[in-house]
Amino acid sequence: MTRAEFSYDFPHRRLISIADLNPLDVDILFDRAEHWLEVCRTPAKKADALRGLTQINLFFEPSTRTQASFEIAGKRLGADVVNFSAASSSTSKGETLLDTVKTLAAMNPDLLVVRHKACGAAAFVSDATGIAVVNAGDGMNEHPTQALLDAFTLTQRLGPLGGRRVLIVGDVLHSRVARSGVQLLNLLGAEVRLCAPPTLLPLDADRWGAEVFHDLDDALDGCDAVMALRLQQERMMAGYIPSLREYFHFYGLTARRLEAASPGALVLHPGPMNRGVEIDGALADDEERSLVLDQVEAGVAMRMAVLEAIGTLARKNEERRQ
């Protein structure tokens, strides 16, 4: 069931971490994302939900695809969207992060979408400014909209995730996608597994609420879905893995490999993919099993849902203050 108007009072003035959400919040976001997914497939994609509001995409790390996803989401909701490429900004003229952020906040944006290489940056920006912040990735910490869109994409195909077994495989150590993903999948009642070479697992992985594996075949047993994480190739130089080829041999997803999983097990990847490293090209292109492009499409819809929820509350709070 899809609602035409957004009526539930979303209680969160920002989205920093999956830990902030309860199952009802997620349910509402999924419901709205489903609505926006349908809208985005029509030629009348433009809504008025955020009309009059200003959204600043504040990207200290470049990420053209994530920024485009948030930009499209904001514009389709009617917001004025401004991209602020902080890489080329005043921080390079000796300004502190806090001053840069407070300066932007003084321009009265209603929504800030923040990407930064440091853990905790999004919370820091939100605390420092009091403005509604959506965390678009803070270092190795969290990337909550990615976790939401991943789980939403799975739900669209599998129905409720309670009792489903989901494996996350690859560079868990450096992955904010994994950190947010495990939390959300647990919240939704899925059984989560992690698989990685020991060098790419954080020391505390066994306390994340997921069973940890080093052997991919063991890990795949009975899985309904597998999410491959991106391997940042420059990391190989740092000695985490012997070679890309060996990595693919032990941890790359292929159709044959997936035979160890449940029949029809689904495959996700947050992109951009290294074909032949994390995932075999033929599997990535298998429309039955690969949800890679569904994730991208769901990404815009989920970001619309999040921006709408956060923005609607921001508007109410601002009106109350008047």
Does residue 9 touch its own copies according to CB under 8 A? no
Q: What's the CA angle centered on 45, arms 40 and 47, to 5 degrees? A: 120
Q: Which of 12, 75, 214, 257 binds its own copies (CB under 8 A)?
A: 75
Would you say 143 is a known binding-site residue? yes
Does residue 103 touch its own copies according to CB under 8 A? yes
Does a cis peptide bond (omega within 30 degrees of 0) precede residue 272? yes
- 10 close to 312: Cβ distance less than 8 angstroms: yes
C-beta of 41 vs 157, nearer to its own copies = 41
Please, what is the minimum distance in Å from the beta carbon of residue 320 to its own copies? 10
C-beta of 141 vs 153, nearer to its own copies = 153
Return the residues of window 145-204 that contact its own copies according to CB under 8 A: none
Tokens of residue 2, six digits = 């899809």
C-beta of 2 vs 85, nearer to its own copies = 85
Q: Please give the helix or strand (H or E) that residue 112 lies within, else none.
A: strand 111-116
Tokens of residue 270, six digits = 């947050």
Contact window for its own copies (CB under 8 A) among 118-126, 182-190, 210-218, 314-322: 314-322
Would you say 66 is a known binding-site residue? yes
Does residue 56 touch its own copies according to CB under 8 A? yes
Tokens of residue 4, six digits = 């035409």
Does residue 106 touch its own copies according to CB under 8 A? yes
Return the residues of window 232-271 that contact its own copies according to CB under 8 A: 233, 271
C-beta of 111 vs 194, nearer to its own copies = 111
Would you say 322 is a known binding-site residue? no
User: How many residues bind its own copies, per CB under 8 A?
Assistant: 61
Would you say 176 is a known binding-site residue? yes
Does residue 48 touch its own copies according to CB under 8 A? no
Q: From CA 170, how far away is CA 9, in angstroms rounded?
A: 37
Does residue 96 touch its own copies according to CB under 8 A? yes
Q: What's the CA angle centered on 291, arms 285 and 297, to 5 degrees? A: 110
Tokens of residue 189, six digits = 């009642």
C-beta of 244 vs 260, nearer to its own copies = 244
Minimal CA–CA distance to 127: which of 142, 112, 146? 112
Q: Which of 203, 237, 256, 322 binds its own copies (CB under 8 A)?
A: 322
Q: Which of 1, 4, 7, 88 binds its own copies (CB under 8 A)?
A: 88
Q: At what angle do helices 144-158 and 176-187 cross, to 10 degrees?
A: 50
Q: What's the CA angle centered on 146, arms 262 and 299, to 5 degrees? A: 95
Tokens of residue 46, six digits = 């433009």
Q: What is the DSSP string of 189-232?
A: T-EEEEE--GGGS-TTGGGSSSEEES-HHHHHTT-SEEEEPP--
Residue with tokens 């840069």: 100
C-beta of 7 vs 42, nearer to its own copies = 42
Does residue 71 touch its own copies according to CB under 8 A? yes
Q: What are phi and psi of 110, to 5 degrees?
A: -95, -25
Contact set with its own copies (CB under 8 A): 40-46, 51-54, 56, 62, 64-65, 68-69, 71-72, 75-76, 80, 82, 84-86, 88-90, 93-96, 99-100, 102-110, 233, 271-275, 293-294, 296-297, 299-300, 314-315, 318-319, 322
**Binding residue ranges:** 65-66, 93, 115, 143, 146, 176, 230, 271-272
